[in-house]
Structure 1
Amino acid sequence: MKTIKLRARAKINLSININGVFEDGYHDVEMVMQSIDLSDYILIRKKSSGYKLTISNSNLISDKRNIIYKTWQYMKEKYKIEEGIEVFLEKNIPIAAGMAGGSADSAAMFVGINKLFDLGLDEKELIEDSKALGSDIAFCISGGTSLAYGKGADIQKLKALNEDINILVCKPNQSASTRKIYSKFDRMFLDEKNKILLSDNRLMNYTPNNERLVEFINNGKCISDIVKAMGNVLEPVTRTLCSDIDIIKKIMDDSGAIKSMMSGSGPTVFGFFSDNKALKKCSKILRNEYINTYVTRPSSKGVEICVFN
């Protein structure tokens, strides 16, 4: 077999809470992540030697700084792969959006290289390998609905969210640096011992109840119950840097969203809708101002092999 094509799904965060900072600087997180159908597509083709990456989006770097190259180099060196590859990336997930676009691409590379070169690794082994390159990659390999904790790479699978739920995703026209958001969070909400100041009123409306959220999801509660336990403690940080977050949330809420919330470190906002007409109307309003507006649904899958020949 010489060619494989994979679908790499984006994610949204149904919750993010931060419990502090580890000695190595990584944040101690607890968050519920959900795969959605918005996806990148990656074609990997074997060749005798070398490496080449072509990307549909000219705004993305394609050199050695790209996570696709880093994933290939990691797998090539660890598993002594002697051949080369050519990769084409169809980029659909917004860049620097809090939707794990880069992590999803890396996850697809882990799965694709394993299959294409007959490495024989199972999902658990792929997830363990992925921890060398980033925290969200593990979830993107597994996909579906999961609680992630620790540094974000330890995951607990949850019951799949109903795939008939309508989701509207909108990324503001500006991006957000994950590193800068977490750094500002630390300055705003951590004391000198890196313990969160839980009494800070600025976090009250954004702190999730993850225990209840996991319970609601695993018990198959309806989305109107699930949203009551959702929250993202990074949202009050990112919204100070991107005023469009509040604008988008207001448009979604005024249009009848059950719940609107920022995903990841932002600045992407998503909303759950029960009324399809309201969803389409809101989508039209937002798309007039924000090109990265998408109607999507939850997915029980992460990386999916589309073609293998």
Structure 2
Amino acid sequence: MQKIVLKARAKINLGLDVTGKREDGYHLVRMVMQSLKLYDRLEMCVIPEPEIRIRANLPFIPTDQTNLIWRAADLLRREFRIEEGISVDLNKRIPVAAGLAGGSADAAAALVGMNRLFHLRLSGEELMNRGVKIGADVPYCIMRGTALSEGIGEKLTELPPLPHCWILVAKPGISVSTKGVYIRLDEQKGWEHPDIDGMVRALEEGSLEGVTERLGNVLELVTVPEYPVIAKIKQTMMEKGAEGALMSGSGPTVYGIFREEAQARIACSAVRKSGAARQIYVTEPFQNRRTDA
């Protein structure tokens, strides 16, 4: 039996700016993206039956055509007229509907797995071109590491790695509609834009301080007033020594950047004790290096 195991990495936004809106309704963005060592695990097996089977460790995860893993596998099966099927066992650890691109990361891993299992010989760029048909974050989740994301998220430029640090990720027990956040952002008359170019220079200089002092996410303008718990988590992280704290994506997950693991652990305990978050992880940045697990 042909089998492969893959790690689908979560991401955070070090910077997220919205610069416009296309006629088709998609928003134009400039984002600095960072992969984490927090991941979902996908075990993929080739099966003789011409179907896609998904099993998940959590009962509320869909296992039908609405799952992005299913859509990714189906896309390549149809294009390359693959007669065999695929079975996917998903061990979900990335919080769901959290602004961490968990679904997109799973889809990206599924594309990579299909490419390897069926020897399709697609390059990373070719996989990314197909991934954008599934979701705007999928191409980045194939690339991973540190990157500048532009357009609707599909134009990617690899950046120097984020200097090593410890990252505390905390998701409160609420869900946020990404579509709703962008609709309400459109109602805003204006906002201060994060210094994305300055952050890119800080990464080029290897300055963690230069990155953390420029953390910014325009979607906080909408989400934080509606969900004060996000500000509460940020405040707790900063009080416990974070170099910076920010909401990721459209939320509601908050992350804090720490220089030392001990500081991140202390902040983790404080956030947990406050009851503000239900899912909390201490992790590190992931870079595309052989030494990175």
Q: Quick one: percent identity of the two aligned structures?
A: 38
Deviations 1:67-98 (A, max 9, x none): 11111111111111110011100000000000
1:171 maps to 2:171: yes
- The answer on whether the counterparts of 2:181 and 2:219 sit within 8 Å (CA) in structure 1 is yes
Query: What CA distance in whole angstroms lies between the structure 1 residues aligned with 2:181 and 2:46?
Result: 39
Deviation at 1:184, TM superposition (A): 1.0
- The answer on whether the counterparts of 1:256 and 1:273 sit within 8 Å (CA) in structure 2 is yes
- The answer on whether the counterparts of 2:15 and 2:216 sit within 8 Å (CA) in structure 1 is yes
Residue ranges of structure 1 left out of the alignment (5+ in a row)? 190-196, 198-202
Deviation at 1:229, TM superposition (A): 2.2
Provide TM-score, normalisation by structure 2: 0.95
Partner residue of 1:147?
148
Partner residue of 1:200?
none
Deviation at 1:188, TM superposition (A): 2.1
Deviations 1:95-126 (A, max 9, x none): 00000000000000010000000000010100
Query: What CA distance in whole angstroms lies between the structure 1 residues aligned with 2:288 and 2:252?
Result: 24
Aligned with 1:119: secondary structure? coil
Deviation at 1:287, TM superposition (A): 2.3
Which runs of structure 2 are paired with 1:1-309 in the superposition (5 Å)?
2-49=2-49, 50-162=51-163, 164-189=164-189, 197=190, 203-204=191-192, 207-221=193-207, 223-288=208-273, 289=275, 290-301=277-288
- The answer on whether the counterparts of 2:215 and 2:245 sit within 8 Å (CA) in structure 1 is no
Deviation at 1:59, TM superposition (A): 1.7
Aligned with 1:112: secondary structure? helix
Deviation at 1:40, TM superposition (A): 0.2
Greater relative CO (CA pairs within 8 A, separation 6+): 1
Query: What CA distance in whole angstroms lies between the structure 2 residues aligned with 1:85 and 1:274?
Result: 42
Aligned with 1:240: secondary structure? helix
- The answer on whether the counterparts of 2:165 and 2:260 sit within 8 Å (CA) in structure 1 is no
- The answer on whether the counterparts of 2:9 and 2:35 sit within 8 Å (CA) in structure 1 is yes
- The answer on whether the counterparts of 1:139 and 1:153 sit within 8 Å (CA) in structure 2 is yes
With 50-59 and 7-16 compared, the bigger mean Cα shift is at 50-59
Query: What CA distance in whole angstroms lies between the structure 1 residues aligned with 2:186 and 2:199?
Result: 25
- The answer on whether the counterparts of 2:52 and 2:74 sit within 8 Å (CA) in structure 1 is no
* Number of equivalences: 288
Provide TM-score, normalisation by structure 1: 0.90
Deviation at 1:278, TM superposition (A): 2.5
- The answer on whether the counterparts of 1:10 and 1:93 sit within 8 Å (CA) in structure 2 is yes
- The answer on whether the counterparts of 2:240 and 2:263 sit within 8 Å (CA) in structure 1 is yes
CA RMSD in angstroms, aligned pairs only: 1.6
